[in-house]
Amino acid sequence: MLDLAIIGGGPAGLTAGLYATRGGLKNVTMFEMGMPGGQITGSSEIENYPGQGNVMSGMELMQNWPEQAMKFGLNHEMNQVTNVTKDGDVFTVETADGNKQEAKAVLLATGSVPRRAGFKGEDEFFGRGISTCATCDGFFYKGKEVAVVGGGDSALEEAVYLSKICSKVYLVHRRDTYRAAPSTIEHMKAAQNIEEVTSVDVEEVYGDAMGVTGLKVKSKENGEIRDLPTPGVFVFVGRDVLNDPLKQEDGSFLCDTNEQGEIIVDLKMKTNVPGLYAAGDVRIDAAKQVVCAAGDGATAAVDIIEYVG
């Protein structure tokens, strides 16, 4: 029987693992199907993690976290959790290989995945010219023109990153104001080779057997269509939470969620089900920052230690 099953190995899961094991819990397993580190490892530039003054990549920021947590006894199981159920006081955590493990407490720290924007050609060309990771795929477009879709922090930060690799970046946004932080907007505006293409909808991304060859955008003001002949389109239009493990056979969730499927927790990261916690981007009102996810993980672990007793 596990004291604690942590689902997800990003900043929230790793910090919970560190605090839980260092705080005395035995048999703490973190289920993470990929490399621990989380979605932030796909970010190219971090400059707002406290105490880390230099701009660094997400990969650099996260590189020491797993080792630190494992030093205190956190186990990492490279497996996907498909389902969590509760019977009496005991949780059962089922993984993709059909194995079942029992746990006294469960922390969901699964985060979120990039949302699709829903334009024509998006599914067809996903992975063949359409990407949601500039750090991963930006290099393929060295010296070429690309388009970035979105107007939040992710879109603007990644547009700035791509502007250093690519000859030109079209920043395609459906409004003429941005959601991103003022300093990020400033960085974007300072880049000489970013052209803002605002108040437009993406009509279509088109291409051939080799992949994307361009996109068409339609002005919301006068309906004019503009053709942007770029071989790369990066989409950053928000994220959807990963709550699948909590789905029950009848389609309900093991605990309360809001309309977006985000897990409802209190200030201790407790759900309405005793012993079940959620931390990081998967929970309601998440600030979606590494430092906040880490804080959530620590907060949850402190309470879980008390709960498990």
Residues that bind ligand NAP (CB under 6 A): 48, 117-118, 149-155, 157, 174-175, 179, 236-239, 288-289
* Residue among 168 and 174 whose Cβ is closer to ligand NAP: 174
Using the Cα atoms of residue 67, residue 69, residue 72 and residue 76 in order, give the sign of their dihedral. negative
Q: How far is CA 263 from CA 161, 255, 277, 301, in A?
A: 32, 7, 9, 17
Q: Least distance in Å: CB of 143 to ligand NAP?
A: 26
* Residue among 94 and 122 whose Cβ is closer to ligand NAP: 122
Q: Least distance in Å: CB of 147 to ligand NAP?
A: 12
* Residue among 165 and 181 whose Cβ is closer to ligand NAP: 181
Exactly one of 3, 137, 153, 281 is catalytic; which is it?
Answer: 137
* Rg of the chain taking only CA atoms, in angstroms: 21
Q: How far apart are CA 99 and CA 235, in angstroms?
A: 36
Exactly one of 3, 97, 123, 136 is catalytic; which is it?
Answer: 136
Using a 10 angstrom Cβ sphere, with 0-12 exposed, 13-18 middle and 19 or more buried, the burial of residue 189 is exposed
For the question of residue 133 being annotated catalytic, the response is yes
Angle in degrees, CA 301, 303, 307, rounded to 5 = 110
Structure tokens at 238: 């928000």
* Residue among 65 and 307 whose Cβ is closer to ligand NAP: 65
Q: Least distance in Å: CB of 252 to ligand NAP?
A: 27
> 198: left (phi > 0), else alpha (psi -120 to 50), else beta?
beta
Q: Which residue is nearest to ligand NAP (CB)?
A: 152
> 275: left (phi > 0), else alpha (psi -120 to 50), else beta?
left
For the question of residue 166 being annotated catalytic, the response is no
- Phi and psi for 113 in degrees, rounded to 5? -125, 155
* Residue among 234 and 253 whose Cβ is closer to ligand NAP: 234
Q: How far apart are CA 152 and CA 236, in angstroms?
A: 8
Q: How far apart are CA 124 and CA 130, in angstroms?
A: 9
Q: Least distance in Å: CB of 115 to ligand NAP?
A: 7
Structure tokens at 92: 């059962």
Q: Least distance in Å: CB of 136 to ligand NAP?
A: 16
For the question of residue 137 being annotated catalytic, the response is yes
* Residue among 177 and 248 whose Cβ is closer to ligand NAP: 177
- Stated length of the chain: 309
Q: Least distance in Å: CB of 290 to ligand NAP?
A: 9
> 144: left (phi > 0), else alpha (psi -120 to 50), else beta?
beta
Which residues have a catalytic role annotated? 133, 136-137
